[in-house]
Amino acid sequence: MDLISVSSSNLKAVGYDPASQTLQIAFRNGGRYEYYNVPPAIHAALMAASSKGSYFDARIKNASYRYRKLR
71 residues of the chain, pLDDT tens digit each:
899 999 999 999 999 999 999 999 999 999 999 999 999 999 999 999 999 999 999 999 999 899 999 97
Residues 42, 33: Cα–Cα separation, whole Å? 16
Amino acid letter for position 27:
F
Q: What is the pTM of this model?
A: 0.94
Q: What residue segments make up the domains of the chain, in order of their start?
A: 4-69
Sign of CA dihedral 7, 19, 38, 29: negative
